[in-house]
């Protein structure tokens, strides 16, 4: 009896082993790719962050320990760009609210709806650089579309959108919301279409108003999408770079438009302070990790799924 069991176990183990091998063979390309293109660069950047490496000198001869991190914490410019980056994140809830409202509007059979959906999605698939250049012209102080409209309506010259410390942030938020709106709409649409009609019908029989339906059924049941948008928005928000580089290449008056990644890029590639830039990248990664972890931790309290 026990001998038979042992044979069965042995056979199982062999089959399992074979399966494991196949599994490993299939994941190995991705795993090797991860090691080469992610794990190694991360380890390399971490080591670089402990040195005064400038891209040309030897890293090992220029080891400075945690000096770059200490210096960074006392760097006013770093805190300024971090604040700018956080301010830009005001666009995340704005984009989510707009996305949900428009998605609700689009979640019905009306003429030309496919065309409208496509239209909203065009900015998402367009080149970021191309649309950033386009918006530079929209925001142009003298000749921009926005100021032409402002002048037409108010008779006064509009603000210096990209040249003023306050307005440049507003401009960037407008641009980022516009650029990301298509994604939010499409994701919310898919979320909305996953809500069973019965829920709404049952609530209507109970006398619920349109607002009640939206607040108590729609909003909670698309919360997984909201959670996804929030997480990806925050991660992306911490990494804003191209928009600034294209629209305000100097970083704005008094560095008012610069983000952490923009500053990191300038330090690493313009000033050749690769070590300092790597330290900044690490601090940024830690911020992103903390914010994401907090979000995941708190999701149980507000993210609902359809049972």
Partner 1 sequence: MKMKRLGALALTTTLVFGSVLTGCGGKDKGTTADGKKNLSVFIFANDHESPIYKGMIEKYKEAHSDTIGNIDVQITTQDEYSKTLTGMMTAKELPDVFYVGPESVQQFVENGYIENIQPILTELGISTDDLVAQEALNSYRYDGTKVGTGDLYALPKDASVFAYAYNKDLFDKEGIPYPDPENPYTYDEFVEVCKQFTKDTDGDGQIDQWGCGLANQFMIQQYIWSNGATFLSDDYRTVTIDTPEFKEAFQKFIDLTLVHQVTPTVEQDVSLGVYQRWLAGQEAFYACGTWDVAAFMDKETFPFNWDLCGYPTLSTGKSMTWLGTVGFCVSASSPNKKEATELISYLCANEEGQKELCGVIGGQSIQLPNLKSLAEGEFLTSIEDGSLPFPESVDVFFSYLGGTGNYEGRFQETTYTPNAEWFDIFFKNVDNVKNGSMTVDDFIADVQPQMQESLDTAWESIE
Told to check if 143 binds partner 1 by CB under 8 A, we report yes
Told to check if 74 binds partner 1 by CB under 8 A, we report no
Phi/psi of residue 51, each to 5°? -130, 175
Nearest distance, CB of residue 40 and partner 1, angstroms: 12
Residues 7-46 that bind partner 1 (CB under 8 A): 18, 21-22, 25, 28-29, 32, 36
Query: Quick one: which segment of 102-110, 115-123, 140-148, 223-231 binds partner 1 (CB under 8 A)?
Result: 140-148
CB 65 within 8 A of CB 50: yes
User: Which helix (H) or strand (E) is 281 found in, with range?
Assistant: helix 274-302
Residues 6+ apart with CB under 8 A from 100: 184, 188, 218, 219, 222, 226
Residue 264: name the closest of 241, 235, 292, 237 by CA. 241
Told to check if 212 binds partner 1 by CB under 8 A, we report no
Q: From the list 142, 198, 300, 307, which residue makes contact with partner 1 (rule: CB under 8 A)?
A: 142
CB 237 within 8 A of CB 255: no
User: Which helix (H) or strand (E) is 183 found in, with range?
Assistant: helix 167-193
Query: Quick one: which segment of 47-55, 117-125, 175-183, 223-231 binds partner 1 (CB under 8 A)?
Result: 47-55
Nearest distance, CB of residue 256 and partner 1, angstroms: 10
Phi/psi of residue 215, each to 5°? -70, -40
Told to check if 183 binds partner 1 by CB under 8 A, we report no
Told to check if 60 binds partner 1 by CB under 8 A, we report no
CB 217 within 8 A of CB 197: no
Query: Quick one: which segment of 82-90, 171-179, 233-241, 272-280 binds partner 1 (CB under 8 A)?
Result: 272-280
Nearer to partner 1, 209 or 271 (CB): 271
Nearest distance, CB of residue 285 and partner 1, angstroms: 21
Nearest distance, CB of residue 85 and partner 1, angstroms: 18
The CA–CA distances, whole Å, from 21 to 13, 14, 18, 79, 228 equal 12, 10, 5, 49, 34
CB burial of residue 252 (10 Å; 0-12, 13-18, 19+): buried
Told to check if 126 binds partner 1 by CB under 8 A, we report no
Query: Quick one: which segment of 50-58, 176-184, 185-193, 296-304 binds partner 1 (CB under 8 A)?
Result: 50-58
Told to check if 116 binds partner 1 by CB under 8 A, we report no
* Residues near partner 1 (CB under 8 A): 18, 21-22, 25, 28-29, 32, 36, 52, 54-58, 140-144, 160, 162-163, 250-251, 253-255, 266, 269-274
């Amino acid at each position: 009896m026990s001998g038979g069991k042992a044979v069965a176990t042995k056979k199982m183990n062999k089959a399992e082993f074979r399966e494991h091998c196949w599994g490993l063979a299939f994941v190995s390309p991705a795993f090797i790719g991860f090691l080469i293109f992610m794990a190694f660069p991360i380890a390399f950047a971490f080591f670089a962050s402990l040195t005064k490496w400038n891209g040309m000198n030897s890293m090992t001869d220029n080891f400075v320990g945690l000096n770059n991190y200490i210096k960074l914490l006392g760097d006013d410019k770093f805190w300024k760009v971090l604040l700018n980056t956080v301010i830009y994140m005001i666009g995340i809830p704005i984009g989510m609210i707009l996305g949900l409202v428009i998605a609700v509007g689009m979640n019905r059979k009306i003429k030309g709806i496919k065309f409208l959906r496509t239209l909203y999605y065009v900015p998402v698939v367009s080149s970021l650089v191309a649309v950033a250049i386009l918006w530079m012209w929209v925001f142009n102080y003298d000749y921009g579309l926005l100021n032409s409209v402002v002048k037409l309506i108010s008779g006064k010259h509009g603000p210096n959108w990209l040249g003023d410390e306050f307005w440049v942030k507003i401009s960037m938020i407008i641009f980022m919301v516009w650029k990301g709106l298509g994604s939010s709409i499409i994701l919310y649409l898919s979320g909305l279409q996953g809500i069973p009609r019965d829920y709404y019908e049952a609530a209507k029989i109970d006398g619920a108003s349109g607002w009640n339906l939206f607040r108590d059924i729609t909003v909670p049941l698309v919360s997984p999408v909201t959670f996804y948008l929030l997480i990806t928005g925050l991660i992306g928000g911490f990494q804003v770079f191209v928009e600034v580089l294209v629209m305000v290449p100097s970083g704005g008056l008094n560095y008012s438009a610069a983000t952490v990644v923009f500053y990191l890029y300038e330090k690493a590639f313009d000033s050749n302070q690769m070590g300092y830039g790597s330290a900044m990248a690490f601090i940024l990664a830690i911020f992103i990790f903390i914010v994401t972890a907090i979000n995941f931790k708190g999701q149980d309290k507000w993210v609902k799924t359809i049972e």
